[in-house]
Structure 1
Amino acid sequence: MFPIEYFLGLILIGICAGFASGLLGVGGGFLIVPLQYFLLKYIGVEPNLAMLISLGTSLAIIIPTSLSGAYRHTRSMDNILEPGFKLGVFGIIGGVIGGFVASGLPSRILEIIFGCLLLFIAVNNIIKINNEKEDARIPFNIITVGIIGVLVGFSSGLLGVGGGIFLIAILTSLLGFSMIEAIGTSSIFISLTAIGGFLSYMISGWGVSTFPYSIGYVSIVNFLLIACFSVPLASIGAKYAHRVPQKKLKIVFSVLVLYMALKMLGILP
């Protein structure tokens, strides 16, 4: 039913997204969503359905992938478990809401929202590329944790990403986390918050999705093939994250996010 290049494309997505997830603490959704979307459209899937499948399946893949990276990070840092878990609990709530909202929006609107948010984050990181660690501007308490967790979780469910690209920017610019601390905390957060979004896509697409071998808007074929490669690669990426200077991590992070932003906005072909 699927052409061979489709399977090869899924394998490449798993390799790239898995390594990026562990290295940058971003879950890999910013790669998994657009690359899956382009691949699904290539085999003739209608754009709206392709986008929803990309979003829902991405969140399902992010759960085991980010857990793999989180485990590796916690072996090197013991101070990331508590903030990551607290943020993640609120993130699950936001993720459920965001997932249900996304199922009622046209795919082009989601592409533009996704692209604009990525563009903002890329520019912000480029401007602050030389900042190793900033002073905390707001306190890390239950109120700020709840607000940040729900909002980032909402973006996770809405856009099919773990939310790491947003959380890392917030942790480093507002809460005084170093880049590596933010990456480790984010990997824990996204492994939890992706659960909420994943469940909402599975439920909202139940009996609606026409894509073969899927549960709601979650493709079993895509999930299995991508996750088989993304999970082990996430562990490898997390291992390298502790060896690479923080400035270089920021550069890699910013370039990847900027490219995907321009791609989703239609500026790049």
Structure 2
Amino acid sequence: MFLFFLAALVVGGAVAGSFSGMLGIGGSILLVPLQFYLLTELGYPPDIALKTAIATALFFTLPTSLSGAYNHSKRNSVLWQKALLMGVFGFLFSFVGAYIASLLNASYLSVIFGVVVLGASLKFTTSRNVNEDPDKMSSNPILYAVCGSVMGLLSGLTGIGGGLVLIPLVIFLVKMPLRQAIGTSSATIIFTSFGGVISYIINGIGVAGLPPYSLGYVNLVMWAALVIPGVILAAVGAKISHRINQKYVRGAFTVITFLVGIGMIIKGLLM
């Protein structure tokens, strides 16, 4: 069972890392359900399993986002000034979101996760008016602060690094071109995931029944199994995103988020 557990984490980290670099979504969208399933199969209660999955997946996004942001930056796809502005607000609100999540039970968290994922997927699917002209992009700092705040709060609540929420926000609210939205999202996730991880560590200290080698709600063994293949494949994904038609990127984003969102909502309702 342990070998299956470890192999599933390694494969999951590789797949999540690929999509992290390619789509700028952080990878947590895949890793939260995967870890939740594995931990519940090992006998951990849903509350412990889901909060550990969220916190560990959020920690996973730190190095993978660094790798993805570096590779996107080399291709001039990261708008660093805007990423820093959104990142500051994302850090603060992610910390708050993680605190709120630590007070909720697994059924609510699962449904919230699914709704956020599904909503982003539907928004991406139904809207076709994507701006590809950088000159039409908004320079209003308030809009970027709003994007960072919303993304940070939902990131802390669900463990999603933020790209899943941020990419649709910056595309449709500030009219950021898709390629720059993906690269800038990767950079912004660094800040939001850091805020959420700190909060999950603090709020998980002293909680009974956590898996071995946990730092608060963050499990270091699962994180190590996920992050090594994840970092390597994040760099590969970032390179791929600049070589393929962006319609395929949007299509992959839509299909994956829709399926995961529906699955987590059903899971939460059945708890």
**TM tier, shorter chain?**
over 0.9
- Shift in alpha-carbon separation, 1:141–1:38, aligned structure 2, 3 A: same
Q: Is the 8 A contact 2:90 2:191 kept in 1?
A: yes
Helix, strand or coil: the match of 1:133? Answer: coil
Helix, strand or coil: the match of 2:103? Answer: coil
> Alignment identity in percent?
36
Q: Is the 8 A contact 1:115 1:262 kept in 2?
A: yes
> CA separation in 2, counterparts of 1:60 and 1:21?
13
Q: Is the 8 A contact 1:29 1:161 kept in 2?
A: yes
Where do 1:1-269 residues align within 5 Å?
3-77=2-76, 80-128=79-127, 130-133=128-131, 139-210=138-209, 211-266=211-266
Deviation, 1:79, is: 5.1
> CA separation in 2, counterparts of 1:234 and 1:78?
15
- Shift in alpha-carbon separation, 1:79–1:9, aligned structure 2, 3 A: closer
Deviation, 1:204, is: 0.4
> CA separation in 2, counterparts of 1:260 and 1:78?
28
Structure 2 gap segments, 5+ residues each: none
> CA separation in 2, counterparts of 1:9 and 1:246?
29
Describe the superposition over 1:65-114 as per-residue Cα deviations: whole angstroms up to 9, x where unpaired: 11100000000016521111211111100111001000000111011111
TM-score, normalization by structure 1: 0.94
Q: Is the 8 A contact 2:92 2:152 kept in 1?
A: yes
> CA separation in 1, counterparts of 2:206 and 2:185?
34
Q: Is the 8 A contact 1:56 1:198 kept in 2?
A: yes
Helix, strand or coil: the match of 1:266? Answer: helix
- Shift in alpha-carbon separation, 1:174–1:230, aligned structure 2, 3 A: same
Helix, strand or coil: the match of 1:108? Answer: helix
Question: Which structure dedicates a bigger proportion of its chain to helix?
Answer: 2
- Per mean C-alpha deviation after superposition, the further-off stretch among 90-99 and 145-154 is 145-154
Deviation, 1:141, is: 2.5
Describe the superposition over 1:214-256 as per-residue Cα deviations: whole angstroms up to 9, x where unpaired: 1110001011110011011101000000111111111111001
- Per mean C-alpha deviation after superposition, the further-off stretch among 138-147 and 227-236 is 138-147
> CA separation in 1, counterparts of 2:169 and 2:247?
17
> CA separation in 1, counterparts of 2:115 and 2:132?
25
1:133 is matched by which residue type in structure 2?
N
Q: Is the 8 A contact 1:22 1:238 kept in 2?
A: yes
Q: Is the 8 A contact 2:60 2:226 kept in 1?
A: yes
- Shift in alpha-carbon separation, 1:236–1:134, aligned structure 2, 3 A: closer
Poorly superposed stretches of 4+, deviation over 6 Å: 134-138
> CA separation in 1, counterparts of 2:193 and 2:236?
21
Q: What is the aligned-residue RMSD (CA, Å)? A: 2.0
Q: Is the 8 A contact 1:132 1:247 kept in 2?
A: no
Structure 1 gap segments, 5+ residues each: none
Deviation, 1:134, is: 6.7
Q: Is the 8 A contact 2:130 2:171 kept in 1?
A: no
**Count of aligned pairs:** 267
Deviation, 1:34, is: 1.1
Describe the superposition over 1:27-75 as per-residue Cα deviations: whole angstroms up to 9, x where unpaired: 0011111111111111111100000100111111110011100000000
